[in-house]
Amino acid sequence: MDLKSPSESDPRARPKPFTFYPPKTNRFLIALAKMGIKPAIRRTLGVTEIEIPDDDLTKLRQLRGERCLLTPSHSGGFEPHILMYLAKVLGVEFNFVAAMELFEQSAVYRWLVPRLGVYSIIRGAVDRPSFRMTRQLLAAGERWLVIFPEGETIWQNSNLMPFQHGVTQLAFKAYEDARKSDEEANLYCIPMAIKYVYLHDMHGEIDASLARLESKLSLPHEPESLSRYQRLRRVAEAVVEANERTHQITPNPDYNFNERIQRIKEQVIARLEEELGVTPSPADALLDRIRKLFNAVDRIVYEEPDGSEYAQRLAVERQRSVRSLYDDLWRLSQFVAIYDGYVKESMTFERFLDVLGLLEMEVCNQRQVWGPRMARVKIGAPINLRDCLPAYAEDRRGTVRDVTLTLENSVRSMLDELGSTCPLVDDST
């Protein structure tokens, strides 16, 4: 798929329409992927152990043959790898929904990813082919479907973004389709939490990261006079000061650290909302506003230009211009995840390294993955949409909202439970 059409050499050329990538499940390739998934998880995620309670595996095995929608957390960024391992353990195959940019990474991805059971979706758009495929797969029930209801990841393994109602709405639509041929049909929505915890003492990795960031920010190295948290706070303050200068924001002496960060975030978001024509919604959480910005970029980038030849050329130029905002949005989503309190409220290795990872992406433009660590997986109580039919018949929108919130709260509670035993950082000076 050529995102640069029409070509630079012929600006009048008609753009190629964007493509929906359906699943082209290939069992041989999936079997190969399952064979290599454990080494890939170790290499890519630094995960050497995966813990799934036997009771939870039994819970899932009892649902084999049923229509199921898995709704996992996506706060660590690499959860599809863990889901592939789970499919291997269960001896089943999953379908996955993935954002369009995954398929655009290379021709190899466009060929391989659909054959692993993955299909595309354009976030924020009325992607009818993708919606139709979701309903078909759920109604047929031949394979379980995995959808990440958060939509985005913020690389903070202890936090959860609000679940999108559209996922549950599509599940209800699919269930209605299934009942046309089987009035006794079931469709289970299964909440799932995935949390990464470090297995060894990580003070050395924390100290090395702090020293690297201090060097990049030209901060004096004072390991004896400052605690690790004080050094982390000093690094974050230097990042905030640099961003204030970049965005020409005069620091307000009455603002605390979080208020200064908030001001930068709000100003950048407001600028992007204006550029993309998104109606500002100051009452919404910043991450929700960023998700709307991602959706707006997707709608523009993947919309098939129409109208006159001239109108189409202008639309393609607009697509090229807007496409460059993806990098800004990813940086913004990472920056939004930095705030005073995430580490202090529970000073675990996991939270400390979450924030250091975000700061390294911001300052060093490099993603750090530390290990060895364990991926802990927890399965919540499945919700059978069949049990929700009376409420759904009376109030569809309200029932969709309630089921979505129940799934979200279940995942959030499990993440809290999985993190309750994480070791703490020694923060003495």
Please write down the HEC assignment for all residues of 237-275.
HHHHHHHHHHCCCCCCCCCCHHHHHHHHHHHHHHHHHHH
CATH architecture of structural domain 27-200+371-418: 3-Layer(aba) Sandwich (3.40)
Distance CA 98, CA 118 (A): 7
Alpha helices in 46-146 (DSSP H): 54-61, 79-90, 100-103, 107-115, 128-140
> Pick the residue with more confidence: 331 or 371?
371
Q: Is 50 exceeded by the pLDDT of residue 14?
A: no
Mean pLDDT, the chain, integer: 87
Residue 13: which pLDDT band, with cuts at 50, 70 and 90? very low
- pLDDT, position 337: 65
Say whether 192 sits in a helix, a strand or coil.
Answer: strand
pTM attached to this predicted model: 0.84
| Overall average pLDDT of the 246-265 stretch | 84
* Every domain of the chain and the residues it spans: 27-200+371-418, 203-364
Closest CA to 16 of 26, 25, 7: 7
Residue 367 pLDDT greater than 90, yes or no: no
Q: What is the pLDDT of residue 1?
A: 33
Residue 216 — pLDDT band, cuts 50, 70, 90? very high
Structure token pair of residue 116: 């692993």
Q: From residue 38, how far is each of 93, 130, 257, 290, 422 by CA, in Å?
A: 16, 30, 42, 34, 23
Please give the pLDDT value at position 192: 97
Give yes or no for residue 87 having a pLDDT over 90.
Answer: yes
Q: What pLDDT band is residue 369 in, cutting at 50, 70 and 90?
A: confident
Instruction: Work out the average pLDDT over 354-375.
Output: 89
Which residue in this structure is represented by tokens 């650290």? Answer: 257
Span 316-331, mean pLDDT? 84
| 6: preceding bond cis by omega (within 30 degrees) | yes
Contact assessment for residue 402 and residue 203, using Cβ atoms and an 8 Å cutoff:
no
